[in-house]
Structure 1
């Protein structure tokens, strides 16, 4: 009798939480659907398998999977994949709506979410043998619930032209160039494809606590695809989701079904083993936090495109307006691109860690994208197509320094170096000549920048050595002569003696005209409302002069500028001391934490962890090893749960609820930040900056 009553109670419970009846319907309304843009850039995770046979990458947000990339790292292929849990009556919650904790092991991630009476554990990897993201979903609750998966494709980096449909127990999408397939094990019990904001599954679920309409196909448009899982949290607690990509629907479905034949545990084991094998071939410094250091190395390696070797992107994220403003950032966004400056940072970190093959591939990529006149694109897609086209002389000089550091002597490399050096020397624009640059390190101002000038001097000295070894002594002498002239004149172009920040000389961010004692006015950009006197503008980039071997760390002007920069740009936080990029920087959030956009409300650049790394390299040269170690610790302290290092952290003007020294919604992971962490760790072990070209320091410091 007791067993009969219990069975009756359970049947009643299932009836109570049953969702509304599913109705087969025709074409979904609301075409083409809204375009919400990409999700916030503060990623908690970034992963891919090590083998090149798996050309797919995923990112994780604070709850659930955000952008995936296929077939390369310049091409977002989805906007999000989220899970929904509901009791069918009183609540409906997405993973992204509840508190989520992220754990990371060799770029395999586990997210633990706690909702209303339920806990979900979701583990993410990619199949090392194919373009499939595999997701293990486990739900535990005290009573039976209903669970769903939501998927938003953006194939070929745009969603408005996607077609989607149910194919047996799979959800397929395509746009004529690429395709995706989403399957589950056990299979979906129901599927639907609609238009975002009107007929997609989340719109239905959020209103009705269940799927009331099933649409077999939709498109073209911005699609939302939904699959109902058999997981109830009590009797059935586990499902595996497979999201696969291909160049057409059939190939995507084939990949998904092939991945589905494997045990998730076996795939994860192979995934982790691939990254363990990579790390075993490299070195580990004594000074670093092992977990952050190894994660940083893996982030660097994962940032390399698999079809275009040597092409490492800046970040697998799209911060602020770059992810939502289609006019500003059509496709792809600038962080999904290769920047010669960032590539230099990445490659020097790889050299320090012992991945010489990876570093050499970056030079091969640079040779392939060098322009006919000798300069390198401001940035380019991983396939080599230039994206933004402004001239930044440091981006033409740093590839030379990198080639020298790798001791590249092959004919192609020497020819690349010669073309780049000749371009730098002959550069003229707007009535100015080199080392004046159309843009400096931070991309939005022309002028004479001490950081850019340091790079060009180092580039010419390294180029001289390389061409001389190839047998051209006359050209080598010309390069050295120009470098010496610029080294002698850098202060006259960029050091003010009558600026407002000190009675002693100090370096400026830049001068528009090479007249540092003139109050030349300019607008610094990024929503700053007026103009500034160039003598008021400082920037930590002047330390490139020391780190690249042009100036002594004991130089009086260098030391005075450090004091000025610390006072004007530095802040102490609970995680360490960090700095703003430059005076009046507007590249950051609004006062309320809202996103940066062009021409919108006033925005404020926050603090950058990379400057802690650069300061630490300077301090090693100044004989302050203990201080350098503190900088390394500060950088590590900015990592989030997934051990991703951010572009920026909050400053003392952080909005309510945000703590200074913790990550903002800026680009995360910033690959440059991970590279800087790796390089500083090795520099501490070496007792000096490992990236400093000895031939430059020998020329100017001895």
Structure 2
């Protein structure tokens, strides 16, 4: 179907007002950037062509979409084909014609290039380009240029040019949307979308990239990723194409101007890309969470990219807040806090990563101590303002596991340099470890006559029928004893409990009965963070929505099964994650009816879980499990 705005533009060459700026669906079929740091531009592909392009950093979308239009109809429903690591071709078909669009970036400049090959009957071929500069398309202005589509705002500019020429046809006001007629020579042309601080700079960037030509840029782009991946080992259990794509995705989510800042996803699912009340400033997934940062860094470390893991830890400590030293819920890649709730597992994340890296330098230890002091000073600690699903406060076994393990890891690092504070942190960790079941295990819940871990308790009294609303459009309150969550397995992964602990085993059974659907699991009972019953988008206050299943849980279950000695099951879990990949080898946040939803795709956490499980299978145990914690509590080494 032709998008309404495209239809309006094609019907008239007159200037028309554009609607409020929004972003495209989040199920990206491709995500790419040059490995080279000189090119501060990233692109995403949707089912209908080029979607958001990020410039000058990975928290700043600068476009909405670029659509090919043939005889007045937008090309749609492309077949996406990976033709390298993070490089793609999309094939569009229409009555009597075919268009092949191949994408790359200029490794030396802020330019995305699209090679357009058109075949079949004669046709009128145009492009519709929607810039959304500086995270907001409502303040863009079109710039008159006879042979280019140029736009600007107060901070940046874009320029779309073609090697055989492009004739501007129309441009809207307000939310600028531009249309240009392509001059195909021999059925082919190359588009260059360049960026800069001013229109002149953007034009110079785009034209310079055209002069050097698409093939040269593509070769250098491919070589950059081949050199990076060739410097690393590959685990035998993983599918080679998906593994190398996952490694490239993880590396590509690091901002080039702010080393160590890895965003959660280059996409904006559902209301986060369309509803100004929920997201006054769009772009919330293109942010850095300490939790996701830990997942990505531990995967890169397992794969041999130690320097990237060090950069991730440095960034975590650099964004600690004054005066109390806590890590914010998330930040832009520049370090500026975005959402400001406190999540205690995120305070523990740098402690866990520092232990994996063996960091004992004074600056690192001072930063970790500040985070620890903040964590233990909170009222009712280890109570958390938000657990890892970010919508409930309480006593969460997953969060408490991270807090205990973080303190033990910090104590070990301090002990290596003879710092006497180690004993204090061990004492606090031991005290919390002794009370985990008291705070989070019910013996009176509806799912079993045996004790099992809850998602969380609001009051630290798991046998009390305290009620709360799970949020995300859930219609009623629920009894806290009737909500379970796979996150309790953090206790096992981080070494606080053994895999064969009786309560762990019984909770595995309960969680499978309540939450397992096919290959994957829901986050918890009553999860509403997902889509409507018919697959429509999530939005607060617009009817009941349903969280779908998450592939990351297959990875977490695989790590548990490794500890239980079942390597075959862990290998099947690795294959299950792989089954969620779309044609561009992007792994999603959520899955419904066997395929990714329009949730955040690619989700860095999902790709990290695939990489980490593959290396854990190679090692025979979870590679990120801190032995110092397991020996203290789970294994009694």
* Cα root mean square deviation, aligned: 1.4
Q: Which residue of 2 aligns with 1:553?
A: 499
Match of 1:285?
235
Number of the residue aligned with 1:669: 602
> How far apart in 2 are the matches of 1:376 and 1:167?
46
Alpha-carbon distance in 2 for matches of 1:448, 1:324:
33
Q: Distance in 2 between matches of 1:99 and 1:469?
A: 56
1:113 lines up with 2:92 in the alignment: yes
**Structure 1 gap segments, 5+ residues each:** 1-21, 87-91, 196-218, 651-659
User: For residue 678 of structure 1, what is the aligned residue in structure 2?
Assistant: 611
Deviation, structure 1 residue 36: 4.9
1:353 aligns with 303
Whether 1:444 and 2:391 are equivalent positions in the alignment is yes
Aligned-residue offset at 1:30 = 3.5
CA displacement 1:615-635 (0-9 Å, x = unmatched): 000000011100000000000
Q: Residues of 1 paired with 2:96 and 2:437: CA distance?
A: 66
* Structure 2 partner of 1:89: none
Alpha-carbon separation, structure 2, partners of 1:468 and 1:546: 24
Of residues 499, 502, 517, the one that matches 2:463 is 517
CA shift at 1:250, angstroms? 1.0
CA contact (8 A) 1:122 1:135 kept: yes
What corresponds to 2:445 in structure 1?
499
Classify the secondary structure of the residue corresponding to 1:76. coil
User: After superposition, where does 1:570-585 map in structure 2 within 5 Å?
Assistant: 570-572=516-518, 577-585=519-527
- In 2, Cα distance between equivalents of 1:452 and 1:309: 27
**For residues 35-78 of structure 1, what are the alpha-carbon distances to aligned partners after superposition, in whole Å with 9 as ceiling and x for unaligned?**
25111000000000011110000000012000000000100000
Offset at residue 168 of structure 1 (A) = 3.0
The counterpart of 1:541, out of the listed 487, 508, 513, is 487
Contact 2:39 / 2:110 at 8 angstroms: preserved in 1? Answer: yes
Assess if the C-alpha contact under 8 Å between 2:302 and 2:615 holds in 1: yes
Separation (CA, whole Å) in 2 of partners of 1:522 and 1:644: 36
Residue aligned with 1:667, SS: coil
Structure 2 residue corresponding to 1:387, chosen from 327, 331, 338 = 338
CA contact (8 A) 2:260 2:315 kept: yes
Match of 2:146 among 168, 172, 196: 168
C-alpha separation between the residues in 2 aligned to 1:322 and 1:416? 32
Within-5 A mapping of 1:580-595: 580-595=522-537
Question: 1:105-504, aligned counterparts within 5 Å?
Answer: 105-141=84-120, 143-188=121-166, 190-195=167-172, 219=173, 221-231=174-184, 236-372=186-322, 373-428=324-379, 433-473=380-420, 475-504=421-450
Q: Distance in 2 between matches of 1:484 and 1:355?
A: 33
Q: Could you list the per-position Cα deviations for residues 351-393 of structure 1 after superposition, in whole angstroms to 9, with x for gaps in the alignment?
A: 0000001110001111110112121000000000001111100
- Give the secondary-structure state (helix, strand or coil) at the position aligned to 1:42: coil
Task: Return the match for 2:42 from 39, 50, 57.
Answer: 57
- Counterpart Cα distance in 2 of 1:103 and 1:353: 22
Measure, in 1, the Cα distance between the counterparts of 2:73 and 2:450: 60
Q: Contact 1:509/1:537 (CA < 8 Å) preserved in 2?
A: yes
Over 3 Å counting, the alpha-carbon distance change for 1:56 and 1:676 in structure 2 is same
The residue matched to 1:334 in structure 2 has which SS? coil
Give the 3-state SS of the residue equivalent to 2:595 in structure 1: coil
1:687 aligns with 2:620: yes
User: Could you tell me how far apart the structure 1 residues matched to 2:632 and 2:88 are?
Assistant: 48
Cα distance in 2 between the residues matched to 1:334 and 1:381: 9
How far apart, in 2, do the equivalents of 1:543 and 1:614 lie? 7
| Counterpart Cα distance in 2 of 1:587 and 1:599 | 12
Q: Are 2:72 and 1:102 aligned?
A: no
- Hey, what does 1:42 align to over in structure 2? 27
Could you say what secondary structure the match of 1:335 adopts? coil
d(CA) in 1 for partners of 2:11, 2:409: 71
Q: Distance in 2 between matches of 1:128 and 1:74?
A: 20
Taking the aligned partners of 2:262 and 2:476, their CA distance within structure 1 comes to: 37
Following the alignment from structure 1 to structure 2, what is the Cα–Cα distance between the partners of residues 151 and 322?
22
SS in 2 for 1:336: coil
Shift in Å, 1:167: 1.6
Q: Show CA shifts across 1:242-273 (max 9, x none).
A: 00000111111110110010121111011000
Superposition deviation, residue 327 in structure 1? 1.9
Contact 1:70 1:77 in 2 (8 A): yes
Confirm or deny: 8 A CA contact 2:58 2:263 kept in the other structure: yes
* TM-aligned CA deviation for residue 29 of structure 1: 4.3
Separation in 1, partners of 2:521, 2:361: 40
Distance 1:460 1:563 in 2: 30
Residue 583 of structure 2 corresponds to residue 641 of structure 1: yes
1:624 aligns with 2:575: no
Give the direction of change, closer, same or farther, for the CA distance of 1:101–1:306 in structure 2 (3 Å limit).
Answer: closer
**Other-structure match for 2:16:** 30
- Give, in angstroms, the shift of residue 399 of structure 1: 1.1
Provide the secondary structure at the position in 2 that maps to 1:617.
Answer: helix
Aligned residues: 625
CA distance in 1, matches of 2:607, 2:254: 14
Distance (whole Å) between structure 1 residues aligned to residue 95 and residue 507 of structure 2: 55
Change (3 A) 1:24 1:400: closer
- TM-score, length basis structure 2: 0.97
Could you state the TM-score of these two structures normalised by the residue count of structure 1? 0.88
Alpha carbons 1:165, 1:192 under 8 Å: kept:
no
Q: CA deviation at 1:405?
A: 0.7
SS at match of 1:160: helix
- Matches of 1:193 and 1:393 in 2, distance apart? 52
Structure with larger Rg: 1
3-state DSSP of counterpart to 2:144: strand
